[in-house]
Structure formats: C-alpha cells, structure tokens
Amino acid sequence: MTLTDSFVPTTSGAVLDGPALWSAQAHMPSVIGRQLVIERGEGSYVFTSDGRRLFDGTAGLWHANVGHAHPELARAAYEQMMRLETYHVFQRYANDRALELGELLASLAPMERAKVILNSGGSDAIDVACKLARRHWQREGRESKQIILSREHAYHGLHAYGTSIAGLSFNREGYGTESLVPETARISFDDLAEVEATIERIGADRIAAIVSEPIQGTGGVNPPEPGYLEGLQRLARQHDLLLIVDEVITGFGRTGEMFASQRYGLEPDLVTFAKGVTSGYAPLGGVLVAPRVWEPFYLDSPDTPIFRHGATYSGHATAAAVALKHLEILERDGLVARVRELEGVLRTELSGLAQRQAGVVEARVAGFLGGVALDERIDAVRVADRLIELGFISRPLRGNTLQLSPPFIVSDQEVAEYVSAIEQTVAEETQR
C-alpha cells in the first residue's frame, strides 16, 4: 500500500480523515485521494510513489533549473553541514559562506555596488523589499510616500506584503479588507498611459515604489509589451519612486541572462530573488539593494539608522554553500547560454502548435518560459491532468494557460516531445 492509498476517501466524510499535510493553494476536497506523491527525482524527471515517471515540464515551481538529484549539490550540502550547518548573521556575527555568497551575488547583480540581504525565499524577499522601500522614504523625511504599486495579474508570494500587492484578486480576498497592507494599489499590466494616470491620481508624493515581475509567471506567463518595463523605469525616475524588480522566477538564467533586468535594460533600486539561486536544493532568497537605498544605512555616524530586517535563517550557511556550488555549475556547464538556445527551440515548437491547433489561442515565450493559452471551451485543468497520464507535468495558470518551464538541462527532443503531448491533449479536448 502506498501513502496515497491509505488516504483515498470512500465517502465525502472521509475527506476529513485525509493526510495531516494541508496542501498549498489547494481546494482540499478536490485533491484528497488524487495527490501525486513525488518520492524521487533524476535529472528532468520525477517519480511518484505509485511508479510513474514524469517529465518535469515546470521545473517544480519554476526552480529546478539544473534538474533533480544533482550529486554535486547534495555533496556541497553534506560537506557544509559536517563543518557548520549554520550560524546567524545578526549584528556583529556572520558566517563565511554567507559572506562569500554575498560577494558573488553582488558581482552578478544588475546594478553597480549592490548590497545583499539574504533570507529563506521569495515571499520573504518581497516582504523585506517593500518594507525597505517604505523605510527609505521615512528616513528621507518624506513620510507620505507609503503606497506600493503592483501590476494587474501579478504574483509576489503569499506573505502579508505579497498577499497585499497581488494582482490576482483571489489571493487578496477573504481577510476582511481589500488588502492586508492598505497602502497598496494596482496598475495596468501593459498600458503605460494608464500607469501614468494611476500615479497622477494617487499622487507621486504618496507612492514609495513600483514592483514588477519582468515576465509575469503565475499570472499567465506574460512577457512584457515592448517598451513597457523601460517605461516603468522611466516613470519611476520621473516621479521619484523606487523600482523593485521581482526576479524570483526569472533570476539566474531563466531568460538567457543572469537576470531579466539585464535582458530588458533595467537598473532597479531593489531586486528580489530566490528559486534559481539554488535550483531549489536549499530554501534561499534575498534582495539586491542599490547604493541609493543602502548607503544612508552605512554612514559612519551614531545617528545612522538600523533597518530592522532579519530572520533566524537569514544567511543560512548550508543554503549559501549550496547556492555557491549551484552558481558554479551554471557557469561551468554553460547553462545560461543553453537557455538562449532552448528559447529558440521552445519558440519554434509553440509557434507550430499555435498554427496547427485551433484550441490554442496564443503561445507566449520569453526566455525558457512558455505559456499556452487555451480556448475558453477547453479546461486547462483537465488538460494538465491528461498530460500526467501521458507522462508530462504542466500546470494550469490564470487565463486558462498552461505553464512550460522545464529544467535547463533538457534536450531539444524532450522539448519537442513535451509540446507534442500538449498538442495531443488539446486535440482530444477539442474533439470532446
């Protein structure tokens, strides 16, 4: 008997006796008894407890960029734990791995002379970045600048700030107010004139920052309209707002550059990162901070303020050791350059799919990220379930869209087979 067998409900009441684990982002009555228990991984594939081998077409949650069960990363974690599992980085304490990783990340950052705040993941990073944006303006004596602007359809994690700035309304609902943190507002995800109108309506003297994903992920894999991100940067500079770029998905090679900010010519004030910094082998995230924001906190004066950030696992030594080895692998194996090749392969395959299959409304590609938007008469959830039967993992997103973001180590043939499986399932649904 497998783990899932023991929890398959036989009546509606049996759902209440399901597993103790409360699954993330799940309608629990719908998933109890249907859960896929992943018990191991190998390269671009994962294996379930009931014996299925599945192509990981989403790289987990956009993170397994170097694939699963990489022996060098496992060894790096083991060796670091045998030396020092971790030590905190509060006040005068630090650990050598966190310091080493900070220097490397600063050298890769899309801004000059960056400082690095480390924490445990992307949601942590967004909370810190939004707090720091507000703290920046309070320190400047401009107390009214408190509002954080974020885009329609945006996803920025689910901590309090990420929930509050979500452009997916269902992630903000149910807490008694329109936004957990009230000083937030949404802007158009593709229309700069509307963005400027929103800034004028609210008043730049009340706005602390604009936060944006370079390529929207959970919102439907939406590449930016030409000039949109550059326009956001221009508006931020024009109105004296901080620009926060959320690179939790796009950072560390997913767009064919180390950061998507470099692909789109951005010079952010703050960059959030996570996922791809370790390929998910250890929970790690953080914020890259430009001099405009960090310098006042470094002045040699008793009046210099403290930015009150930090968590127990900020700068976790083992996570940092894994990140260092992972970034070494990315460079050594030429995986960022490989992403540029894979982008072309994915674009060709999805272009053909869209031309051949009437059930596909649009195929979107930016870097090694793809979104297949389906006709509204086709259920993306059902398509994703059918893909699992065929041995492939995708994920339904906003806009009836399928997510494609395989690991960087896949072959051209595997990409073609993945898209072919999507075509088969869409054709089946079209004929229903």
In the chain, the domains with their CATH numbers are: 36-66+334-430 (3.90.1150.10), 72-332 (3.40.640.10)
User: Which region holds residue 167: left if phi is over 0, alpha if psi is between -120 and 50, else beta?
Assistant: alpha
- pLDDT class of 368 with cuts at 50, 70, 90: very high
The arithmetic mean of pLDDT across residues 342-369, rounded, is: 97
The arithmetic mean of pLDDT across residues 310-329, rounded, is: 97
- Nearby residues of 31 by Cβ (< 8 Å), 6 or more positions away: 23
| AA identity, residue 353 | L
Q: How far apart are CA 338 and CA 323, in angstroms?
A: 20
Of all residues in the chain, the percent with pLDDT exceeding 70 is 97
pLDDT at 1 over 90: no
End-to-end, the C-alpha distance of the chain in Å comes to 35
Query: Distances from the Cα of 328 to the Cαs of 66, 86, 284, 314, 427, in angstroms?
Result: 11, 21, 16, 21, 42
What is the token pair recorded at 342?
Answer: 């894979």
What is the token pair recorded at 47?
Answer: 């294996």
Helix (H) or strand (E) holding 235: helix 228-238
Q: How far apart are CA 430 and CA 326, in angstroms?
A: 42
Q: What is the four-CA torsion angle of 110, 114, 115, 116, rounded to 10 degrees?
A: 10
The arithmetic mean of pLDDT across residues 11-29, rounded, is: 82
The arithmetic mean of pLDDT across residues 121-132, rounded, is: 98
Q: How far apart are CA 256 and CA 258, in angstroms?
A: 7
The backbone torsions φ and ψ at residue 360, rounded to the nearest 5 degrees and listed phi first, read -100, 115
Helix (H) or strand (E) holding 364: strand 360-365
pLDDT, one tens digit per residue, over 277-318 is 999 999 999 999 999 999 999 999 999 999 999 999 999 999
Contact status, residue 432 vs residue 84, Cβ threshold 8 Å: no
| Cα four-point dihedral sign 199, 160, 287, 331 | negative
pLDDT the model gives residue 9: 43
The backbone torsions φ and ψ at residue 173, rounded to the nearest 5 degrees and listed phi first, read -80, 155
- pLDDT class of 15 with cuts at 50, 70, 90: confident
